[in-house]
Amino acid sequence: MLLRQVEYARPATVEEAISLLAEHDGARALAGGQTLVNVMKARAASPDVLVDLADLAELRTIAFSADQGSLEIGAMVTNTQLIASSEVEVARPILAEVAATIADVQVRNRGTIGGNVCVSDPTNHLPPLLAAIDATFTIRGQSGERTVSSDEFFVGVYMTAVGEGELLTKVNVPPSSGAGDGFAGLTIGAHGTYIVNAAATVSDEGARIAIGCVAATPVRAIAMEERLAGGDYSEESVRAAAAGLGASLDPPGDVHGSADFRRHVAEVSAVRAVLQAAGRRK
Ligand SMILES: Cc1cc2nc3c(=O)[nH]c(=O)nc-3n(C[C@H](O)[C@H](O)[C@H](O)COP(=O)(O)OP(=O)(O)OC[C@H]3O[C@@H](n4cnc5c(N)ncnc54)[C@H](O)[C@@H]3O)c2cc1C
């Protein structure tokens, strides 16, 4: 199906993009277009104005922050850029590892980290990963800039803390400081959409675990994290800590797997992600 007629703007600065988004009620930011153009074709979204972020070089950079050594990833950084980035390789290689398994090369070349999180699709790879590594999200609007945690950022299916007339400008990833990161799950075919996934970070401060595809937004496995607080990451201990995780979840069931199957996969994935993360600690 062809797109409905739509106005198109290609601002040269972030400020101009924000003004355009604020001026027009029906305006939407266009990043890689991998989801937005498809939903427009299906008439599931019909923005009046597309504000193309393609020329905003400021949103395409990956750099270490001057102060704490955290990694600042511009919202328009593509999955392919994440995969090739030496900064990502040094700071948090899990980002490249996971980005490399998203869909196919075309989607990875066009799809951006900003688009991946702003679309807030519960089956996407990056939301649970960014929740586990405790990333924060910088949002800019006409009244200024704010930075929110992943708990605040992901609000619901296709809903985030980015409001009307605002842009996500960057994703801030804390330095690993010796922490190990892990990611595991079950996909529909190779490089397919996840049925369930789990991401984990293990550091001297404990484990952070987030489960994807089981609710509208990533779910932190707090009880499992608390059971691991003693710092024993043997397989036996991690398995014991995961017991009951599935029962605490309320995932949907569909043609790819029942709710009970997803509960089981969530436990298995969480165990695998934590063991991988613990094994990578420095
Ligand atoms: C066939 C196919 C398979 C896929 N499989 C997977 C998969 O298995 N796992 C996975 O994680 N992803 C998958 N994706 C999604 C893909 O990785 C992209 O992340 C996703 O399509 C959106 O990124 P985009 O840059 O194309 O954003 P767009 O489609 O351009 O935008 C998506 C939404 O985010 C908003 N937006 C984008 N950037 C900003 C910003 N900076 N500030 C505010 N709002 C913004 C847009 O207005 C729009 O509402 C798949 C996509 C396709 C087409």
Which residues does ligand 1 sit against, CB inside 6 Å?
28-36, 38, 53, 75, 102-103, 107, 110-112, 114-116, 118-119, 124-126, 162, 167-168, 193
For residue 219, how far is its CA from the centre of ligand 1 (angstroms)?
A: 20
Q: Give the tens place of pLDDT for each residue, 133-182.
A: 999 999 999 999 999 999 999 999 999 999 999 999 999 999 989 999 99
Contact 251, 196 (CB under 8 A): yes
Q: Which atom of ligand 1 is nearest to the CA of 192?
A: 8
Q: What's the pLDDT at 43?
A: 85
What's the 99 CA to ligand 1 centre distance in angstroms?
13
Give pTM, 2 decimals.
Answer: 0.97
Question: How far apart are the C-alpha atoms of 63 and 90, rounded to whole Å?
Answer: 11
- Reported as a pLDDT band with limits 50, 70 and 90, residue 257 is very high
The mean pLDDT of 38-42, rounded to a whole number, is 90
Position 117 scores a pLDDT of 98
Q: What is the share, in percent, of the chain residues with pLDDT greater than 90?
A: 92
Please name the residues in contact with 259: beta carbons below 8 A apart, sequence gap of 6 or more. Answer: 250, 251, 252, 253
pLDDT at residue 241, as a whole number? 98
Distance between Cα 58 and ligand 1 center (Å): 19
The pLDDT of residue 17: 98
Pocket test for ligand 1, best of 102, 130, 139 (most atoms within 8 A of CB): 102
Q: Which helix (H) or strand (E) holds 152?
A: helix 150-153
With a cut of 90, say whether residue 1 has pLDDT above it. Answer: no
- Residue located nearest, by CA, to atom 9 of ligand 1: 124
The pLDDT mean for the chain works out to 96
Q: Is the pLDDT of residue 201 over 90?
A: yes
- Phi, psi for residue 95 in degrees, rounded to 5: -65, -40
